[in-house]
């Protein structure tokens, strides 16, 4: 408890409201209206995104065509094969936003993921060097996209957050809005993973809608309209020192499973809707 109190006293310094990283967003429209969206995927190609695959492949090389735009049901979507581990990441950084996308699982799986839960992930507030986490991803906060686990939290390469939760056993903590706040970080007892509350994912092969709300140092994971988790004090750890983590690039993971994404879009917000925090 003393460590958590210190976290709030020290980690909270400077974690104020961050202005949107891109001007011209429909900020006022972000409270429920369908206006003000900026597409991150234009339906034609992956312009605006970089590719990073685990070494020795590296940056903007994709020999196995892991990331492609393909036809699906008469529309263009992003196909991620999962064959190589890595991600596509936006070239720009974002803060204070509502991100929405649709995803569905394919049928293929690879390597040590073959025959296991299909896995991907939405990594946000991504900063620093490529490959910092598992040699494949930037430091970030993960909105887990995995069969049965959509909405979980993982802190990647130093990402951390304070989340209300209940302790399930020695290693598992489950989000509970009425629970005490725990500091989830790799170098602390709870670890860097918090399990979402409930399950709203559709059957494999069906399209799911994910909504991510980020404002200041708070973020909310929503799956098919159901709040899975609210995270507070988004931050990062460098050699034991805590710094804010409230803006960054957005990554979509390739992690051993075929997955499709579409309608990836973003809009600025001037606050997180109160009903989500309740």
What pTM was computed for the model?
0.89
Write out pLDDT tens, residues 189-224: 999 999 999 999 999 999 999 999 999 999 999 999
| Domain CATH for 229 | 2.60.120.560
Which residues touch 170 (CB under 8 Å, ≥6 apart)? none
What's the domain range around 24?
2-277
**DSSP annotation of 203:** P
Per the structure, the count of domains in the chain is: 1
The 3 state secondary structure assigned to 25-74 is CCCHHHCCCCCCCEECCCCCCCCCEEEEECCCCEECCCCCCCEEEEEECC
What are the tens digits of pLDDT across the range 16-71?
333 344 333 333 333 445 789 999 999 999 999 999 999 999 999 999 999 999 99
């Amino acid at each position: 408890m003393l460590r958590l109190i210190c976290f709030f006293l020290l980690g909270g310094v400077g974690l104020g409201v961050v202005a949107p990283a891109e001007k011209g967003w429909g900020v006022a429209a972000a409270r429920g209206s369908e206006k003000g969206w900026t597409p991150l995927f234009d339906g034609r190609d992956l312009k605006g995104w970089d590719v990073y695959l685990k070494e020795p492949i590296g940056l903007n090389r994709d020999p196995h065509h892991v990331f492609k735009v393909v036809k699906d049901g008469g529309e263009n979507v992003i196909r991620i094969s999962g064959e190589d581990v890595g991600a596509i990441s936006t070239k720009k950084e974002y803060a204070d936003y509502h991100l929405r996308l649709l995803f569905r699982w394919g049928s293929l799986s690879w390597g040590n993921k073959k025959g296991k839960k299909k896995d991907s992930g939405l990594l946000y507030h991504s900063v620093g060097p490529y490959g910092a986490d598992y040699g494949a991803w930037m430091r970030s906060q993960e909105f887990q996209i995995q069969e049965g686990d959509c909405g979980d939290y993982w802190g990647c390469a130093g990402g951390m957050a304070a989340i209300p939760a209940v302790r399930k056993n020695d290693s598992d903590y489950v989000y509970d809005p009425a629970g005490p706040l725990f500091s989830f970080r790799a170098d602390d007892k709870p670890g860097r993973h918090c399990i979402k509350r409930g399950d709203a994912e559709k059957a494999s092969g069906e399209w799911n809608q994910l909504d991510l709300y980020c404002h200041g140092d708070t973020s909310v994971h929503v799956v098919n309209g159901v709040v899975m988790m609210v995270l507070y004090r988004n931050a990062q750890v460098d050699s034991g020192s805590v710094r804010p983590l409230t803006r960054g690039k957005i990554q979509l993971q390739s992690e051993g499973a075929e997955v499709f994404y579409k309608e990836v879009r973003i809009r600025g917000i001037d606050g997180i809707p109160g009903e989500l925090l309740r």
